[in-house]
Amino acid sequence: MNEKKMENDKMEKQMKEEIEKYAEVIGITVEDASAIFDSIVTENSLDLNSEEGLLVARSVFRSKFAQTRARMKKDESGKETTTEYTGPTYTQKAKGFFWAVENATDWEERNRSNILAEYQRDADSVLQAGKAAMAVQLSDGRYEVTLVLEGEPNTKVMEKLPEVNPMQVDDDRWLIPVDTRKAWASGQANPSYGKPLPANRWQRTLMFIGAVGEGEPQKYQLRVNGEQAVDFHPRTFALCEFDCVPNSNNPSNLSARKDGSTINSLDYLDEEMEIQTVVQELLGEKISALIALDSYHADNSHKPYSERIVVTDGNVANMNLQPYDNGNRVIYLSDLNADFDYEGEGFSSTACWVPSNIEIDFGIGSNIIVVGRTSQREVDGELSNVSINVLGLYVMDRHGSADVPVQPEEDNDYSWF
């Protein structure tokens, strides 16, 4: 136990030295560099009391340093370093297909929920840490708002509350989450520091394979921010083209334009494309046979959430198209190469949870490719079968229709024939 603590203390000391070196090389204060490190810890929910937490935090911190230093070198050489394209000059046409579409996430909703829960546990700690301001309604209808910045309380009287949906915590009190980031990863001061956060911050990530401009086909991630992310869920494995903004710092990232032109420019193309060949060439490291799914899940469950994606294929053995409360339907996939168990459950099948935005226009017996994240629960001390939360779907061989007839009454003497 003492050896482990000594090792942790040693790593913490090394981390402090690295923060000081970061500040020296980048040209910012140690306090600002520390704030960058703290934001990494907070945003990634890391535990600095564990060796793993420290190592992850250090790795991300070093990565941010490398990116910032690279931008500084470009500045010194006079090269363009714009990180956010706003003009039409930088808009490019992308052509290819989406192979996975993440759910839209409201990151601010999570943050607000966490702050409210923390406030309910220990109100003073939230306010003293400057995570939120407290607004108290006065007898004349105005509001006294107090916010702790740099350890000092700041109070002002306001005619009305900011329009960011403050969280009411008492008859006359409201909690207003604020931006706690003093500086960006680049070291530049954050002009929104201490200001109210918006009520919502929607984002959707889409996995895309294709060519951008005159480039060669490769894998990209398209980020869509704001309210437009909520309703943007294009078809997967359908050839299309759209306008986007390439990221100058990360060539594998694309951004949707804020004016909505990316969404409005999406156009599906009536052209042939060897989808299966492209999938094998560019997604090979994510491909797993259905019968090897348990092993794939075990080997990848420790990876970051964004990397735990599997591509597999199988035959539709059954389906339940009655939506659950969250809108999901379920398809059961079987591998016809797997052995049949006469004494057990017959062909083993994998449950694939299909969200409402993915169309199911095929029937039992169809052969399909499924993209998604594997999941496994523990029930009564035993692990359940691995299932897949579907992000994309492609029909290779279509049979029947999605209209599932009413099941006939089962014969009590036989389970399947």
pLDDT for 99-155, tens place per residue?
999 999 999 998 999 999 999 999 999 999 999 999 999 999 999 999 999 889 999
State the span(s) of the chain assigned CATH 2.40.50.140: 283-397
Residue 64, amino acid: K
pTM (global) more than 0.75: no
Residue whose pair of structure tokens reads 């297909």 in the numeric block: 97
Structural tokens at position 29: 């204060």
Let me know: does 115 contact 175? Beta carbons within 8 Å. yes
The DSSP call for residue 332 is E
Rounded Cα distance between 293 and 301, Å, is 12
Let me know: does 306 contact 105? Beta carbons within 8 Å. no
Q: 366-383: per-residue pLDDT in tens?
A: 999 999 999 888 778 788
> Kind and range of the H or E element at 19?
helix 2-26
Q: How many CA atoms lie within 13 A of 358 on its CB side?
A: 29
State residue 35's pLDDT score.
86
State residue 39's pLDDT score.
81
Let me know: does 353 contact 390? Beta carbons within 8 Å. yes
Residue whose pair of structure tokens reads 């889409």 in the numeric block: 206
In angstroms, the Cα distances linking 32 to 39, 127, 196 are 11, 21, 20
**What is the architecture, at CATH level 2, of domain 283-397?**
Beta Barrel (2.40)
pLDDT at 51 over 60: yes
Q: How many CA atoms lie within 13 A of 286 on its CB side?
A: 24
pLDDT at 342 over 60: no
Rounded Cα distance between 263 and 224, Å, is 9
User: How many residues comprise the chain?
Assistant: 417
Q: 271-320: per-residue pLDDT in tens?
A: 888 898 999 899 988 999 888 888 889 888 888 877 789 999 999 999 99
Q: 243-269: per-residue pLDDT in tens?
A: 999 887 788 899 999 888 999 999 999
**CATH level 3 topology of 88-105+202-268:** OB fold (Dihydrolipoamide Acetyltransferase, E2P) (2.40.50)
